[in-house]
Structure 1
Amino acid sequence: MPTDLHQQRIDAVLHEIRQSGARRVVDLGCGNGELLVWLRELKQITRLIGIDIDATALTEARHALNIDLLNPPAQLKVCRGSFENTDWYAKGVDGEIDAAIMLETIEHIEPGRLSRVEETLFGVLKPALIVITTPNKEYNPIHGMADHEIRHPGHYFEWTRAQFRSWCEGVAGRHHYRARYADIGQLHPTLGSSTQMVCFESDQ
């Protein structure tokens, strides 16, 4: 995949967070902390949380963010946690979450767990904005891939645009959100773009 596509994803997410005015933001599946580094530069953010299940990646994230474990910054928290529960979330300390991000993360979740992740994110945390990016399976041939191939060995699935929108519309309807879609990357006239993005905005 073109390396600049990854930066385009980051830029698209940053744009949505800036426009929303979100102050308390969580990066679900923060990995090595690359997006957190960019988010930390947004002056509007007063509380930034990164969670992941990979302990090695979290160590890399803390290093990238220069987090002192003995004296962590008040604005920033990076911790191990699951998307299926809120054990990592301390409401009294973290405050109400304004925005949640899943940057190329949802396809790493086993399909049988998606409903539990949905309930935690949309039913419990209920941020005003949820931004999700994921590969567009239809675009894979443009990347020189065969029909049976996936972009990363850790992907449990890759959605077509119709499959993605079907899931998004179902989630939005169940939890009183509006779904707004965008393409990221070079647009093919019939296959869409390499990355598809949805912004869920709360109706409540």
Structure 2
Amino acid sequence: MTSWLHEERLHAVEDAVRATGAARILDLGCGDGDLLVRLAGNPRYDEIFGVDLCPDAIGRLRRRLNTCDVRVPKIGFRTGSMFDPAADMAGFDCAVLIETIEHVDPARLSALERALFHDMRPETVVITTPNAEFNTLLGVPAHRYRHPGHQFEWSRARFREWCARVGRFYGYKAMVTDIAGCHPDLGGASQMAVFHGTGTALPPDTG
């Protein structure tokens, strides 16, 4: 992926997280910590925690944190799954998933929804995902995805539909915006949803 796009995403997410006023941040699918390292230098946050399936990525994150100016009192990270969250992954002020959901098998997406919005249930959730409509401007052939690990890529209408459905079911309200460009017809290269909990009751536990 082009570096300008990654930078635009990081800026958009960092701004969104700051705007929530959150003090405790959970970075799901944190990779080697591009967002986490940025947030770690900001003393406005009390805790930042990163989770990723890849132990090599977590190792790179650890090494990066050892060489940067960390101003957050509490930082943690582990190799782990979003689908079966540990108890200490619940109740954060804000959870972030940057270009993560498109790596999930569509058949398992409902399990991720439940783990995130029911089990972990942060006050705010920030999610970015590619905008499939923009692919042609990036030179991506119509029959391919941007990355071989992607299981799907959604149009803006499809992403908004998903956000609205998940929000209704789990008691969140989502605001969706284009990020990384703003083509008059195709939108941005990525799209971002910021979910805020509405305080409504959770759906019945069917697990």
Partner of 1:77: 76
Which ranges of structure 2 fall in alignment gaps of 5 or more residues?
200-207
* Residues 7-22 of structure 1 aligned to structure 2 (within 5 Å): 7-22=7-22
Match of residue 105 from structure 2: 110
Instruction: Tell me the CA shift for residue 74 of structure 1.
Output: 6.1
Structure 1 Cα separation of the partners of residues 91 and 185 of structure 2: 41
Q: CA deviation at 1:42?
A: 2.3
Tell me the matched-pair count: 195
Give 3-state SS (helix, strand or coil) of 1:65's partner. Answer: helix
Q: CA deviation at 1:164?
A: 0.7
Q: CA deviation at 1:56?
A: 0.8
Q: For 2:119 and 2:14, how far apart are their aligned partners in 1?
A: 24
Aligned partner of 1:90 in structure 2 is 88
Whole-angstrom CA distance in 1 between matches of 2:99 and 2:26: 14
Pairwise mapping of residues 153-168 of structure 1 onto structure 2 (< 5 A)? Answer: 153-168=148-163
Q: What are structure 1's unaligned runs of at least 5 residues?
A: 68-72
Whether 1:37 and 2:37 are equivalent positions in the alignment is yes
Percent of pairs identical after alignment?
41
TM-score by length of 1: 0.91
**After superposition, what is the alpha-carbon deviation per residue over 1:27-75, rounded to whole angstroms, capped at 9, x for unaligned?**
00000111110111222211111000011111111111119xxxxx960
Kept after mapping to 1: 8 A contact 2:91/2:123: no
Output the amino acid matched with 1:107. Answer: E
Displacement after TM superposition at 1:96 (Å): 2.8
CA distance in 2, matches of 1:83, 1:162: 26
Q: Secondary structure at the match of 2:66?
A: coil
Find the aligned partners of 1:180 and 1:18 in 2 and give their Cα distance.
16
What amino acid does structure 1 have at the position aligned with 2:92? I
Q: Distance in 2 between matches of 1:74 and 1:2?
A: 33
Residue 53 of structure 1: aligned partner = 53
Aligned twin of 1:180: 175
Q: Cα RMSD over matched residues?
A: 1.6
1:70 alignment partner in structure 2: none
Q: Distance in 1 between matches of 2:28 and 2:91?
A: 15
User: 1:18–1:42: 8 Å Cα contact kept in structure 2?
Assistant: no
* Counterpart in the other structure of 2:138: 143
Aligned AA for 1:53? Answer: L
Separation (CA, whole Å) in 1 of partners of 2:49 and 2:28: 8
Task: Report the counterpart of residue 200 of structure 1 in structure 2.
Answer: 195
Aligned partners of 1:139, 1:166: CA distance in 2, in Å? Answer: 18
Matched, 1:152 2:144: no
